[in-house]
Structure 1
Amino acid sequence: MRYITGGFALGAALALGGLVAAGTSTAASAAPAPAAAPAAQAQSLFPTSLFAPSSLVLTIGQGEDRDSSGVQRAVTLTCMPKATGTHPDVKGACEQLRAVDGDFDKTVALKADTFCTKEWNPIVVTAEGVWQGKRVSYEHTFANPCMKRASQSTVFEF
């Protein structure tokens, strides 16, 4: 309670001081005091460089496409304004996406000298969200887990 009453006393003292100062000052200035420029205030409220958001939800599932597969694993990946998320290699995945300008097909290309069986055991990967301000809805089906491991994708390694 002591702090509340002290606050009231301070407020009252400031208000009375303002009234006394206003009553004793008989000569008023002809020009009003310059107000802070609105543009200067707006600059301090907003960052000087704006960025496009990049935030994705990545999934891996067993099946031929996103509609017939169940999601086995899912992670989040945010690359702008700061690399964060539940992806195990956030910085590596963001760097890979920046290097290919968000072209997910380039991230799932197979490494050279890859040898896998030709079994059909499909794995589907998806990306949903926003990349550099543009809506993304991506889906790719690997023929089997070996093909997925043989891809160059840091993005879908989780």
Structure 2
Amino acid sequence: MRPMTRWAMTGTLLAATVAGPLAMPAHSAPASQYAPSALVLTTGHGERAATAAPERAVTLNCAYTTSGTHPDPRRACTDLDRVNGDLDRLATLRTGESERYCTKEYRPIVVTIQGVWRGTRVNYEHTFANACIKETQGASVFAF
């Protein structure tokens, strides 16, 4: 083989070896069974979130493994699963331990939840008459 032919053949093989894998389509990681679920929950005293200064904020991640700064993320994620992410139905999850009586004191507290639940965008705001009612009707999700 002539030197020039050898150089051309070597260059072609080298280019195919290096650039070949780059030309193949990239494969993404396998899709999960569940869509992402990550929420930010805030609470503050007032009738509306726009006028109430946030007093406390926690995060809740329910995808793959439960985590976040919520005091009981596993139980909160379980409660959200039980109502299929419908935050207005949390009041129906009353259990024996949450059967407590609240005063009729009016000291409004507003709760907001923003983020993603099973791939759906969530933007939720609800005002409770007082903190006791918030914890009673919000199951473990609002207990922070």
Q: TM-score, normalised by structure 1?
A: 0.66
2:64 matched to which residue of 1? 81
Aligned counterparts, 1:1-158, within 5 A = 42=27, 45-47=28-30, 49-109=32-92, 111=94, 114-158=100-144
Percent of aligned pairs with the same residue? 48
Paired letter, 1:150 = T
2:15 matched to which residue of 1? none
Q: Matches of 1:70 and 1:124 in 2, distance apart? A: 10
Q: Matches of 1:79 and 1:115 in 2, distance apart? A: 30
1:13 matched to which residue of 2? none
Q: Matches of 2:93 and 2:133 in 1, distance apart? A: 7
Paired letter, 2:114 = E
Contiguous gaps of at least 5 residues in structure 2:
1-5, 10-19
Q: TM-score, normalised by structure 2?
A: 0.72
Contiguous gaps of at least 5 residues in structure 1:
1-18, 23-34
CA RMSD of aligned residues (A): 2.6
Contact 1:110 1:147 in 2 (8 A): no
Task: Kindly name which structure, 1 or 2, has the bigger radius of gyration based on alpha carbons.
Answer: 1
Task: Give the number of equivalent residue pairs.
Answer: 123
